[in-house]
Amino acid sequence: MTAVGIDGLEIWAGKLELDLPEVFAPAQGDDPGKYTKGLGLHASSFPDTYEDIVTMGANAALRLMRRKDVAPDEIGRIDVATESAFDKSKPVSTYVAGCLEQVLDGDFRHANKGERKFACISGTQALDDAYNWVRAGRHRGKRALVVATDTALYARDDAGEATQGAGAVAMLIGEDPDLVSFTQAQGFGSMDETDFLKPQQQFPSVDGQRSVQVYLARMREAVEDYESQAGDVHPEDFAYAPFHTPFPGMVRKAALLGFRHVSRDTEYEDRVAEEIGRQPRREEFDDLEGFRAALKDYTDALAETDVYQDWYARTVEPTLELSRYCGNWYTGSVHVARASGLLQAAEAGQDLTGERLLVGSYGSGAQAEIHHETIQPGWEENIRALNVKDQFRDRYDLTYEEYERIHDAHNHEKETDTDELATPDEEFVFDGWGRMGERKYRYV
């Protein structure tokens, strides 16, 4: 069977940067350690006044199509995944296509365009749709363009303000991919939850502490569901485990529970047994409370073992590197984590061809999905072409007062007249409103 998967990806970060320990923490009266050590974040990326989900998505897609030398008529579908859409009818993908048609030869007249919504997991769902479309043979030899784009802003003084971010990931999906291929096995954990939502409002209502618990619970169910299809996961099965990263501290929590699960009844459990004993089993306890207390003690001790820490440093830590400097990108976040792991491997000169990734996606509301991907020949060239670290370095560094103005400028309920802080160069910019309330864009 021909492999189907991601043929290439590009990342576009918001042009502004907020330093969390140096600028945000002091203004909030917080210890910088809460950001760098607790949440695991150093900086957030922000959109300048001329940026939004369309400009960031179109800029990422343009770079990708030019690099992969793909013409508009070679694209059979465009799906945009976002939870920051500004129109209830006209999908963001039509705006993105309109932008690209301004500068590329040809058009997307015969491409099927849509928009996907399920909080942060919709980027992965759009990949799923593209995969199914190719597998069903309805693609006429064409590829799908998937764009995950968000301005992940919270209301001022919400606990989530620390985890903000803005950026886009564009991906091409097709046959014989150059980056990773997908497989059929996948697992879901899905429940009607009220942890994070935006009922007709721009900024989310969030029950932050509960959202953390829901993430862990749905992710565990998704892993078990995946294992029922693909067989038990072993800690050495995967080169990396890129997971949805609202902030790296969240993945640190998930990774520990995940490792405890996948190391059970393996040589990994044996290796730590001398130091911390074996994992408590439910049947060894008369009451649930006693079992839970023993499990918590075991888990706390597991986190301190060299065996766990080595595994974490190899398999998870590299996937968090980019996120530490850009914050949560909602739909793009897990795709940034995949790119981050591969980028670290390319920089370290590792050969990953044929190895696997265990990918964990999550969206509040709530649903988790687990699948694995196989790294393809060509991955290294593809990943080395990313200039995301240069983008991060070149961002305009915000003062706290500028941050407040920029946040207001993106707040739909505030009327502001704020000047841009960065200078757009060879990119799409927001260019005001048209007569029917549509947003207009131009290439600078």
Tell me which residues are annotated as active site.
83, 120, 244
Containing 370, the helix (H) or strand (E) segment is strand 367-375
x/- letters, 376..415, toward ligand HMG (CB under 6 A): ----------------------------------------
The residues facing 190 across adjacent strands are: 367
**Rounded-to-integer distance, Cα 428 and Cα 440, Å:** 10
* Count, residues near ligand HMG per rule CB under 6 A: 30
Q: 220 or 356: whose CB is closer to ligand HMG?
A: 220
Q: Which is nearer to ligand HMG, 33 or 277 (CB)?
A: 33
User: Using CB under 6 A, which residues numbered 194 to 233 contact ligand HMG?
Assistant: 196, 206, 208-209, 211-212, 215
Give, for 175, the enclosing helix (H) or strand (E).
strand 165-175
31 part of the interface to ligand HMG, by CB under 6 A: yes
Query: What is the spatial distance between Cα 323 and Cα 39, in angstroms, rounded to a whole number?
Result: 11
Alpha-carbon distance of 146 to 142, in angstroms, equals 13
Residue 284: how many other CB atoms lie within 10 Å = 10
Question: What are the distances in angstroms from CA 317 to CA 45, 106, 153, 328?
Answer: 20, 42, 25, 16
Name which position in 10, 48, 52, 83 contacts ligand HMG (CB under 6 A): 83
Q: Is 362 in the site for ligand HMG (CB under 6 A)?
A: yes
Which residue number, 127 or 250, has a Cβ lying nearer to ligand HMG? Answer: 250
In the bound state, the residue with its beta carbon closest to ligand HMG is 38
Minimum distance of ligand HMG from residue 103's CB (angstroms): 31
The tokens for 221 are 């169910």
CA distances from 343 to 31, 51, 144, 431 (A): 31, 26, 23, 34
Distance CA 317, CA 45 (A): 20
Identify the CA nearest to 95 among candidates 166, 82, 105. 82
Cα–Cα distance, 219 to 217 (Å, whole number):
5
Residue keyed to tokens 């949440």: 39
Q: Which of 26, 33, 354, 377 binds ligand HMG (CB under 6 A)?
A: 33
Q: If binding is defined by CB under 6 A, does position 276 make contact with ligand HMG?
A: no
Q: Determine if residue 341 is left, alpha or beta; phi over 0 gives left, psi from -120 to 50 gives alpha, anything else beta.
A: alpha
Identify the residue among 263, 328, 344, 374 touching ligand HMG (CB under 6 A): 328
Binder to ligand HMG among 24, 259, 330, 379 (CB under 6 A)?
330
Which residue stretch of 35-43, 55-63, 140-148, 374-382 sits at the interface with ligand HMG (rule: CB under 6 A)? Answer: 35-43
- Residue pair 244/330 in contact (Cβ under 8 Å)? The answer is no
Question: What part of residues 156-185 is at the interface with ligand HMG (CB under 6 A)?
Answer: 159-160, 162-163
Stretch that binds ligand HMG, among 34-42, 103-111, 133-141, 234-242 (CB under 6 A): 34-42
Which of these ranges, 5-13, 32-40, 141-149, 413-421, lies near ligand HMG under the rule CB under 6 A? 32-40
Q: What residues form DSSP beta bridges with 16?
A: 46, 396
Binding footprint of ligand HMG on the chain (CB under 6 A) = 31, 33-34, 37-39, 83, 119-120, 159-160, 162-163, 196, 206, 208-209, 211-212, 215, 244, 246-247, 249-250, 328, 330, 362-364
